[in-house]
Structure 1
Amino acid sequence: MYQLGWAKADIGIEPAGRAMCGYGMWDHRARGQQTPLYARAWWVGGADGRAAIICVLDMAMVTHSMRAGVVDALTAELGDDFNPETFVLACTHSHSTPGGCGHEAMYNIVTPGFVPEHLEAVVRACATAVTGAKAAAAPTGLTLDASEFAPNDDVAWNRSLGSYLANPEAMPLTETETHLALDRTMSVLTARRDGKPASLLSLFGVHCTSLGNSLERHDGDNKGYAAAYVEQALASDGGGEDESVAIFAQATAGDVSPHFHGPGDVARRNRISGEAEYVEARRNGDLQGETALAATSSTHGRGSDVDGPIDGVMTYLDLTEQTADPRFVDGHPNARTGEPCHGVAFFAGTRVDGPGMPKAIAVAARAQSKLLRRRRLRGLAKLPVEEAERLRRMYEAQDPKDILMEAKPKLQLGTPIDRVRLPDWADPSLAEMKRQARVGALKTSSMVPTVLPIQIIRIGQLALICCPGEFTTVAGRRVVETVRAALDGHGVTEVLIMTYCNDYMGYVTTHQEYEQQAYEGGHTIFGRWTLGAFQTQFEKLAQQLAMPSDDRDYDRDTRPAPQPADELALRSNLPVP
């Protein structure tokens, strides 16, 4: 039994015409609010005074600025009762939520820019939820339960079946069976008081994109509706509604859509528009909520008691220069990650969830990217040694991606961003990026995060792997198996994965999926060996967790470098177009 408490706080960001985060669309602006957006938190205190803290936001992503701000606030508020290594900050990945909360440039371009008051609101809500959960902590039983969606439950489909089937462990499936190409089991941590479920934390991977990019209201999307459904059910079963908290976090959602994928999928998606999208988001969320409640019942789920020590380990990695153990990359002897690059497939978007650039432009961009690669590699001998080595390493890590944007040198198809010839009227997002480059706001700033956190939290016999990106179904499965093997025999019997944790770095595919260069591969920005690098480092971190705390020896000090204050100021509080 733990000292377990829960609480939630309204994030409270007023819609004021700024673009929402997730789709990266200039015109996807917030002009109203459909549902409240919350920070929801659990405080799980062990017998020795240690506590695991899980806070999940109704937001599209977590940034380093968000986590750092919350850590500072909780350190000041809680002192020695707070341990950052056992605190995880995650999100539901709803695409109908505010942006502008990170210091890096790229994912804030459409907002436009960094919005300090948005970040302050998020930090305040998280701190309020966590301290409220601590104050509400009381003796509480904890069980790990599970329930599986039936094959005919319309809740999730794999949106990149060809990539999924490229994995050797994938079972053969047809395009009418995309709903089977994912993990259909929902894991649920259930907090029980007086033998009854009082709060829960659900883990199930499906994109929070039931709502499309043409709507103009803040909304928690399917995960938000799932939480509201369960909170109302729990309240009616014994408590006040304000005391009920249900957290719907993400597992392996990278290649999983809430929209049907198969014959006629685009036409089917197009029939759901406007107000009907909110109805669809609620339907999907209610189904997730029903499944979570079914897992907590006495006739469903594993129902295994969770009890024992609270522990955690966390470190930061420079993802631009990681080497993968050959065991995780089919024996490749020199598998390394590289500098971040976005592929044409990323900018082309996804057919059903969120189309990007027009197909004709994507075809032309792929051709130009291939031509640029050939020209560069033929001319390496004529380049300065440092630039030649950069290009050689970049293509070695990124192939066969058709690279559109090189984030470190800030090039688009080999051209500096501020000199890209596409007219500003043709792409307002690119126009804003060009404008920021011209005024010096991007000169030495990072476009995307490159130093990223990995974390494992232990709650009794459960190990929770906390990942900073969007892991596909099979990629996540491989990480779980890696950590499970490393912790075997050390008191851990269950291993689960939570994604969108502590920062955001795009996608993580298997190297087989990466070769297909669907959307997910195009947004796996550190290259084809990214998953192997994560497996390598998660294995090492799990081995540290298995040691007595006094014997552990791993990097606790590395953090992302601050962004240049003068450049950040140039892209902060920008006027709403």
Structure 2
Amino acid sequence: MVKDTMGQTRTHTEATLAQATEVAGSVFNSPFSRRIFFAGMAAVTGSVLWSSISQGTAGAQSGGSLEVGRGMADMTGEPWGAGMNGYAVLEQSSIGLQRRQYARSFIFVDPNSGQRVVHCTADVGLMFQSIHLEVLRRLKAKFGDLYGQHNVLLHAQHTHIAPGGTSAHLMVDITVGGFRPITFEANVSGIVDSIVRAHDDIQPSDITLSRAEVHNASVNRSREAFDKNPQEDKDVFPEGIDPAATTLHIHRGDKTVGFINWFAVHPTSNGHTYRHVGTDNKGYAAWATEEALGVDHQHPENAPFVAAFANSSPGDITPNLGLTPDSGPGVNSMDSARIIGERLMGGIAGSSDIPGISGGGVSGIYRWMDISNQQVDGKWTPDGKPGKTSPAILGAAFAASSQEDGGGEPLLGFQEGERGGTPWVEQVGKVVVPPQMHEIHDPKEMLLPVGFIPGMLQQVFPFYIHRIGGLVLISHGFEATIVSGLRLRRVVAEALNVPLDTVISQGYVNSYGHYVTTPEEYSTQNYEGGATAFGRNQLPAMQQIFHDLAQAMHEGKEVPVGGPAGDLTGLIPPAPGANPWMDIAPFGKKFGDIVQRPGVVTSGKNATAKFVGANPNNNLRHGEGYLTITDEDGVVVANDSSESTLITFANSWGSTTVTVSWNTAEMKPGKYALSFRGDSKSIGGQLTPYEAKTTITVV
């Protein structure tokens, strides 16, 4: 604990935030007030679970018990014409940019053993083997064997409004129209850049693990399935949510320089009809925290603070508090994403100090396993009988999508179990599906046997356990419900003999295989059960895998690591329109010409400018971006990532119109300069930069 200038006792993190914002002034390059920021920090309870700092005091001076590096990079994909991962709605393709995507990486190094682990939180919907393996190839070319399959964790925070088309398995890419090489390269290069920057930043540091509770930011979207669980599981989550916000803080001396926060909630505040590229509630929380602490998001390479808002086990947890799409606490989906984001920000405020928990250094263990072919010991099944998994079969409830968050195609008539299911699929399944599949998958209404078609869906997955100081992190490629995550954590905590609260289960890591529910939840066949692709014993199989890994880790034994199965990277056809031939300016116009000037606007109103542009996918302009708005002193007040800006592209027969909308809330009266930069493509493929400029007068 530390005391501020008024003598008030505060946590180390809160004090660091306060010190930063006392001199922030110009760092708020968008209308985002200190009052709003600190509202998100209020009313949380929590404790410090573990600290590497002497005497467990987060504010103490220390030479650093670990070495830690932080890095951040722009990884924005195509803001025009790209299908988005998450809702599986073909009509949801990008038409503009609300906020840029970022990769936020941390490298933790044990100076005694030399072991290290990379944790990258990426502003993408899903993480795929294709991205993972390409990132590893590029890291190997630069660093040799320092970074590899054993110690690089790429985690998707799971926004549903980011460009997709980056999987090497057809089942996912088909829902966004095909493979998109430009977005794939953007994602990979951004992640690699963030890791390289983290590597260059490695220096002595301390870490603190804290836990707080965040309420009114989430609700269980599949309560009927949750209620099928045993009472001992439900008692852990009396509200049907997991309120735990666990944060790993990084300190250098008396200063906090970054954190990773895990909290279980879907980033689905923005619904399936929203088509501007963005990062939803978790991305807002990260951006807003960094803005308040002096980060210039146009130059992420110089970020003085990195705030990663990761996900844990959000499989059955939604931010749509009204249990229908776009029913968050705000007046619209963007407002809801902001409000939920501010509530998530409250989860970084670790509170009172308690005795430290034993454990330190960095270590890890991993293994690739074929989840489609597991013999499961009765120790892990609810009925005590041995069980099996099988190649992936997705159910009718999967096709219905989550009817609380949206997605899917309503005209097809598929329903979740609690809404009556889809009887005709069940009847067809009784006739055409072999009896042995019923033994494994019932009562799933079996619709899509994708596991029997090579390349459709990943079936061989990496499973990881890492210790970082007092934190135990288990990683996998699935969307676990909160009780599924609880059972995985219990298995590992018991095998390693560590407190349950220090164990985090995170999905969306280095791979993607849809959902995992408990066998009890599976019986309801809501969306999550229908998307549990490998049968009702999928979770018991994962419990068995993680138990064996944890036991081997505890005993210091090696395990056969195996390897990935092949994928279709580069073989899946590119999405139509992924590579436009050329740009055409309207007759009598040139690129950058103003079509509509914003003129004079009253403070708090939107200023709108339109001009002749080009396809933004020609050059994604990582870093500085497309848009800058400056005041009369040349200070940047808004850019691509600001909460106040929205960029929209309209393309017709090769001609593109760019519309920039800027909310002038909290802007002082005066003149502001708007600059938009882009690149036009000639028929030969040559790019030519252009710039559109106009003035906005705020009164």
Query: Is the pair's TM-score, using the shorter chain for normalization, greater than 0.5?
Result: yes
1:253 aligns with 2:314: yes
Q: Which residue of 1 aligns with 2:231?
A: 169
Superposed, 1:99-498 pairs within 5 Å as: 99-149=164-214, 153-169=215-231, 180-235=239-294, 242-261=303-322, 265-266=323-324, 269=327, 276-292=332-348, 294-295=349-350, 299-300=351-352, 304=356, 308-358=360-410, 361-362=413-414, 366-376=422-432, 391-409=434-452, 445-488=454-497, 494-498=502-506
CA distance in 2, matches of 1:234, 1:136: 18
CA contact (8 A) 1:4 1:45 kept: yes
CA contact (8 A) 1:209 1:258 kept: yes
Q: Secondary structure at the match of 1:533?
A: helix
CA distance in 1, matches of 2:314, 2:108: 25
CA contact (8 A) 1:339 1:394 kept: no
Instruction: Tell me how far 1:447 sits from its aligned partner.
Output: 1.2
Q: Which residue of 2 aligns with 1:427?
A: none
Instruction: Tell me how far 1:82 sits from its aligned partner.
Output: 2.0
CA contact (8 A) 2:197 2:301 kept: no
Q: Secondary structure at the match of 2:425?
A: helix
CA distance in 1, matches of 2:184, 2:411: 36
1:556 aligns with 2:618: no
What is the one-letter code of the residue matched to 2:321?
Answer: F
1:25 aligns with 2:89: yes
Superposed, 1:28-67 pairs within 5 Å as: 28-47=92-111, 48-67=113-132
Instruction: Tell me how far 1:179 sits from its aligned partner.
Output: 8.6
What is the one-letter code of the residue matched to 1:308?
Answer: G
Instruction: Tell me how far 1:305 sits from its aligned partner.
Output: 7.2
What is the one-letter code of the residue matched to 1:569?
Answer: L
Query: What do the CA deviations read for 1:84-111 (whole angstroms, capped 9, x no partner)?
Result: 3122110100000011111110111132
Q: Which structure: larger Rg?
A: 2
What is the one-letter code of the residue matched to 1:362?
Answer: F
Question: Number of paired residues?
Answer: 506
Q: Secondary structure at the match of 2:324?
A: helix
CA distance in 1, matches of 2:165, 2:553: 35
CA distance in 2, matches of 1:23, 1:521: 16
CA, structure 1 residues 365+305, in 2 after alignment: closer, same or farther (shift >3 Å)? Answer: closer
Query: What do the CA deviations read for 1:405-453 (whole angstroms, capped 9, x no partner)?
Result: 111346xxxxxxxxxxxxxxxxxxxxxxxxxxxxxxxxxx421111111
CA contact (8 A) 2:70 2:201 kept: yes
Q: Which residue of 2 aligns with 1:505?
A: 513
Deviating more after overlay: 326-335 vs 502-511: 326-335
CA, structure 1 residues 215+303, in 2 after alignment: closer, same or farther (shift >3 Å)? Answer: farther
CA, structure 1 residues 338+101, in 2 after alignment: closer, same or farther (shift >3 Å)? Answer: same
Query: What do the CA deviations read for 1:365-388 (whole angstroms, capped 9, x no partner)?
Result: 8222222233347xxxxxxxxxxx
Deviating more after overlay: 45-54 vs 34-43: 45-54
What is the one-letter code of the residue matched to 2:510?
Answer: N
CA, structure 1 residues 172+55, in 2 after alignment: closer, same or farther (shift >3 Å)? Answer: closer
TM-score (structure 1 length as normaliser): 0.82
CA contact (8 A) 1:251 1:497 kept: yes
1:77 aligns with 2:146: no
Decide which structure has greater strand share: 2
CA contact (8 A) 2:153 2:510 kept: yes
Instruction: Tell me how far 1:307 sits from its aligned partner.
Output: 6.3
Decide which structure has greater helix share: 1
Query: What do the CA deviations read for 1:230-280 (whole angstroms, capped 9, x no partner)?
Result: 2133338xx99722111111111000001114xxx439829967xx21111
1:547 aligns with 2:555: yes
What is the one-letter code of the residue matched to 1:523?
Answer: A
Query: What do the CA deviations read for 1:114-166 (whole angstroms, capped 9, x no partner)?
Result: 122222221111111011011111111101011112xxx42000100011110
Q: Secondary structure at the match of 2:117?
A: strand
What is the one-letter code of the residue matched to 1:555?
Answer: P
CA, structure 1 residues 359+270, in 2 after alignment: closer, same or farther (shift >3 Å)? Answer: farther
What is the one-letter code of the residue matched to 1:392?
Answer: P
RMSD between superposed Cα atoms in Å: 2.7
CA contact (8 A) 1:365 1:404 kept: no
Q: Secondary structure at the match of 2:555?
A: coil
Deviating more after overlay: 301-310 vs 333-342: 301-310
CA distance in 2, matches of 1:539, 1:6: 31
CA contact (8 A) 1:471 1:499 kept: yes
Q: Among the aligned pairs, what percent are the same residue?
A: 28
Instruction: Tell me how far 1:394 sits from its aligned partner.
Output: 1.7
Query: What do the CA deviations read for 1:8-54 (whole angstroms, capped 9, x no partner)?
Result: 10003231212111101011010111001011100111112221110
Q: Secondary structure at the match of 1:192?
A: strand
CA contact (8 A) 1:407 1:448 kept: yes
CA distance in 1, matches of 2:156, 2:172: 16
CA distance in 1, matches of 2:175, 2:206: 45
Instruction: Tell me how far 1:573 sits from its aligned partner.
Output: 4.3
Instruction: Tell me how far 1:170 sits from its aligned partner.
Output: 5.5
Q: Secondary structure at the match of 2:431?
A: helix
CA distance in 1, matches of 2:509, 2:394: 21
Q: Secondary structure at the match of 2:422?
A: helix
Instruction: Tell me how far 1:172 sits from its aligned partner.
Output: 7.0
CA, structure 1 residues 272+492, in 2 after alignment: closer, same or farther (shift >3 Å)? Answer: closer
Q: Which residue of 2 aligns with 1:522?
A: 530
Q: Secondary structure at the match of 1:350?
A: coil
CA distance in 1, matches of 2:199, 2:329: 46
What is the one-letter code of the residue matched to 1:169?
Answer: Q
